[in-house]
Amino acid sequence: MDSFKSHRGLIALLDRANVDTDQIIPKQFLKSIARTGFGGSLFYDWRFLPDGKPNPQFELNTPRFKGASILVTRNNFGCGSSREHAVWAIQQFGFKAVIAVSFADIFRNNSGKNGLLTVELEEPEVEEIFQMVQRYKGLEATVNLDEQRVTLHLPEEISFHFEMDASVKEHLIRGLDAIGLTLKEENQIAAFESRHDPQWFAR
């Protein structure tokens, strides 16, 4: 997994609540058996018109957000289906971090496993970012995981602290292989299996 320490980049806004993973990556793109190639399909039904041309009404298609790497959105981002393709699509489109009021549980887990940083801020803080981005074209932010801090690079910088589970943070910063770490617990797993109730399973 890619590690995440700190990232500075352009902010893009997605002013919608309850963005579900069906919107992030629609079903027709889930048929792939590969782990790559999803970036072009991100928000497909919102990004593209029926004739395949970009939808000028959709926020992320506006020129000012071209090249953005930090996505800021509202509450309950990533709800619905467990499809990890949603995380892959966001990363492969170019985003390194998503900032929201809240995330759905499975989406947040999936993000952590792939090195996509999910930052939860309070609603007024997210609202402040929205207002600042609307006011200052090209506004960049730094998301520093080590310090658990989001900084808006305004003439007078504004910073927000965010909470982060300690073990998730360590995994992200060190880019750890979760399966490799668990396999080190092999003795514990084997011992557990030897005492775990076998009669539950007919064989």
Which residues of this chain interact with another protein, rule CB under 8 A?
A: 15-18, 20, 22-23, 26-28, 30-35, 45, 50, 75-76, 79-85, 87, 102, 104-106, 109-110, 113-114, 165-167, 170, 178-179, 182-183, 185, 188-189, 192-193, 196-197, 199-203
**Cβ of residue 29: shortest distance to another protein, in angstroms?**
10
Task: Using DSSP bridges, classify how beta strands 97-100 and 117-120 pair: parallel, antiparallel or unpaired.
Answer: parallel
CB 134 within 8 A of CB 114: no
33 vs 155, which CB is nearer to another protein? Answer: 33
156 vs 193, which CB is nearer to another protein? Answer: 193
**Cβ of residue 136: shortest distance to another protein, in angstroms?**
22
Element holding 131 (H helix, E strand): helix 123-135
**Cβ of residue 153: shortest distance to another protein, in angstroms?**
28
Query: Under DSSP, is residue 54 helix (H, G, I), strand (E, B) or coil?
Result: strand
Q: What is the Cα–Cα distance from 133 to 99, expressed in whole angstroms? A: 13
123 vs 157, which CB is nearer to another protein? Answer: 123
CB 117 within 8 A of CB 28: no
Q: What is the Cα–Cα distance from 91 to 1, expressed in whole angstroms? A: 12
**Cβ of residue 65: shortest distance to another protein, in angstroms?**
19
